[in-house]
């Protein structure tokens, strides 16, 4: 919902300002249409139905994976593709994976989104409309900004969405923003005091390899990025999650695990998530289960907290790094 336009439209219709709140409350609870908004006068429901689309995004396609993951391909009014994913876990959690941009201006070599055309930043309302799309199907309690785009390059809109997500049942503490290590964004997030989780896509324990995988490392090298993460941890007292996608023969050797452990001090400031690589049409192969287990063991032997990420939605190309709408 374009919330500015809603407010302007209600104004023009001479409606009291509390109508904004009424409409928003219905949307946040998953309303599919104005007719459901029973505290609005019938004639107003009808006018809004005619004048104001319920969403800034239109649904073009939705696919469901065997594991209950759903991927939606949505489109902005100016024609840009946006993908969003809803994941269901066995413990009942439902987590939304939201996009902050259509496409991505960065070109990490292993990620499918980086190979599509970058269109533009999404607005706050376009981000929220991804969540509202899934809210109309069922409630969710977690969100991660791990869809298309680099959230730290569009932080105002992302934080604007974070302000409103709690109305849908997704608190800031259950929201994570993932970054390639865009330092100005990390610093602004820290200064904002918004209690969302910071996640860093690290992927390599030294600069040369990291730069080869992620060009952005040339601009913001490892040591400086990790300093920004330590400052975030010091200010918020929350662990920074380190994402590490496991690439066979590239970043999964024993010595690399030890090098990673050396970087992550103090230990309490970080937690590592090892991510099984999801195939894209890149040159990489994912590390085997055994290699991931050995890497995990090496990190744990150094006192590093580590989990292996569950992969959801691989059969519909909805998993990490597979979001690339045919634009
Ligand atoms: N630009 C931000 C937000 C996107 S998050 C960031 O990079 O953090 C998407 C996550 O999926 C990142 O950790 C990214 O490195 C990871 N990823 C990218 N391609 C992947 C792939 N093919 N398999 C598994 N994870 C991948």
- Ligand 1 geometric centre to CA of 111 (Å): 6
pLDDT at 81: 95
Domain annotation covers residue 323: no
Domain annotation covers residue 147: yes
Residue 235: how many other CB atoms lie within 10 Å = 12
Quick one: average pLDDT of 164-182?
98
Query: 3-state class of 72 per DSSP?
Result: strand
- Ligand 1 geometric centre to CA of 320 (Å): 5
Quick one: average pLDDT of 308-325?
71
Residue 317: how many other CB atoms lie within 10 Å = 18
Residue with tokens 């007719």: 35
- Ligand 1 geometric centre to CA of 132 (Å): 23
pLDDT at 50: 97
- Residue 87 sits in the same domain as residue 162: yes
* For ligand 1, mutation pick of 243, 271, 280 (most atoms within 8 Å of CB): 243
Residue 150 phi, psi dihedral angles, 5° rounding: -110, 105
- List the structure tokens of 314: 């691989």
Residue 197, domain extent:
58-316
Question: For the chain, what is the domain count?
Answer: 2
- List the structure tokens of 223: 């040591």
Tally: H helices and E strands in the chain: 11, 12
The answer to whether 187 and 236 have CB atoms below 8 angstroms apart is: no
- Residue 26 sits in the same domain as residue 149: no
pLDDT at 304: 98
Domain annotation covers residue 321: no
Quick one: average pLDDT of 9-17?
97
pLDDT at 259: 98
Quick one: average pLDDT of 194-220?
98
Residues with CB under 6 A from ligand 1: 110-111, 146, 150, 178-180, 201, 243, 245, 275, 277-278, 280, 320-322
pLDDT at 90: 80
- Ligand 1 geometric centre to CA of 244 (Å): 9
Give me the active site residues, please: 83, 320
10 Å CB burial of residue 154 (0-12, 13-18, 19+) is: buried
pLDDT at 320: 63
pLDDT tens, residue by residue, 23-43: 999 999 999 999 999 999 999
b/e string for 192-201 if b means 16 or more Cβ within 10 A? eebebbbbbb
Measured distance CA(273)–CA(270) in Å, rounded: 10
* For ligand 1, mutation pick of 179, 186, 275 (most atoms within 8 Å of CB): 275
Measured distance CA(69)–CA(89) in Å, rounded: 9
Q: Whose CA is nearest to atom 19 of ligand 1?
A: 321
Query: 3-state class of 199 per DSSP?
Result: strand
Residue 321 — very low, low, confident or very high, per pLDDT cuts 50/70/90?
low
The answer to whether 252 and 285 have CB atoms below 8 angstroms apart is: no
Measured distance CA(14)–CA(30) in Å, rounded: 26
- Residue 224 sits in the same domain as residue 312: yes
Residue 316 — very low, low, confident or very high, per pLDDT cuts 50/70/90?
low
pLDDT at 264: 98
Q: Whose CA is nearest to atom 18 of ligand 1?
A: 321
Quick one: average pLDDT of 296-321?
84
The answer to whether 139 and 167 have CB atoms below 8 angstroms apart is: no
Measured distance CA(142)–CA(86) in Å, rounded: 10
What pTM was computed for the model?
Answer: 0.95
**Average pLDDT, rounded, for the chain:** 95
Enumerate the H helices of the chain as residue ranges. 3-12, 18-28, 42-51, 124-135, 155-164, 183-192, 207-213, 216-219, 222-236, 254-263, 289-301
Measured distance CA(97)–CA(225) in Å, rounded: 24
Q: Residue 302: give its domain's CATH number.
A: 3.20.20.70
- Ligand 1 geometric centre to CA of 266 (Å): 25
- Residue 60 pLDDT more than 70? yes
- Residue 327 pLDDT more than 50? no
- Residue 318 pLDDT more than 80? no
- Residue 116 sits in the same domain as residue 183: yes
pLDDT at 189: 98
The larger pLDDT score, comparing residue 30 to residue 65, is at 30
pLDDT tens, residue by residue, 208-262: 999 999 999 999 999 999 999 999 999 999 999 999 999 999 999 999 999 999 9
Q: Residue 34: give its domain's CATH number.
A: 1.10.150.530
For the chain, percent of residues with pLDDT exceeding 70: 96
- Residue 97 sits in the same domain as residue 50: no
The domain boundary residue, chosen from 54, 74, 93:
54
pLDDT at 319: 66
- Residue 268 pLDDT more than 90? yes
- Residue 41 sits in the same domain as residue 184: no
Q: Whose CA is nearest to atom 9 of ligand 1?
A: 146
């Amino acid at each position: 919902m374009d919330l500015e336009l809603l407010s302007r439209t209600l104004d023009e219709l001479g409606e009291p300002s509390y109508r904004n709140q009424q409409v928003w409350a219905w949307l946040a609870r998953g309303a599919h249409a104005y007719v459901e908004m029973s505290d609005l006068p019938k004639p107003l429901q009808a006018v809004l139905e005619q004048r104001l689309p319920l969403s800034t995004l239109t649904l073009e396609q939705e696919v469901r994976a065997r594991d209950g993951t759903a991927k939606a391909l949505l489109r902005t009014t100016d024609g840009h593709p946006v993908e969003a994913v809803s994941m269901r876990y066995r413990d009942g959690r439902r987590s939304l994976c939201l996009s902050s941009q259509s496409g991505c201006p960065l070109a990490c070599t292993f990620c499918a989104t980086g190979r599509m055309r970058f269109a533009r930043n999404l607005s706050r309302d376009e981000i929220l409309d991804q969540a509202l799309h899934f809210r109309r199907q069922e409630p969710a309690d977690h969100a991660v900004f791990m869809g298309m785009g680099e959230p730290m390059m569009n932080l105002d809109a992302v934080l604007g969405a974070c302000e409103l997500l709690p109305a849908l049942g997704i608190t800031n503490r259950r929201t994570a923003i993932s970054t390639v290590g865009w330092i100005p964004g990390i610093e602004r997030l820290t200064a904002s005091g918004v209690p969302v989780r910071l996640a860093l896509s690290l992927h390599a324990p030294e600069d040369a390899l990291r730069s080869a995988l992620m060009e952005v490392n040339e601009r913001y090298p490892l040591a400086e990025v990790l300093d920004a993460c330590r400052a975030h941890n010091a200010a918020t007292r929350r662990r920074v999650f380190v994402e590490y996608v496991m690439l066979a023969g590239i970043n999964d050797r024993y010595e690399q695990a030890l090098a990673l452990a050396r970087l992550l001090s103090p230990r309490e400031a970080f937690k590592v998530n090892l991510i099984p690589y999801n195939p894209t049409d890149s040159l990489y192969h994912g590390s085997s289960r055994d290699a991931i287990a050995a890497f995990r063991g090496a990190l744990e032997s150094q006192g590093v907290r580590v989990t292996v990420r569950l992969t959801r939605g691989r059969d519909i190309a909805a998993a990490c790094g597979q979001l690339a709408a045919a634009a």
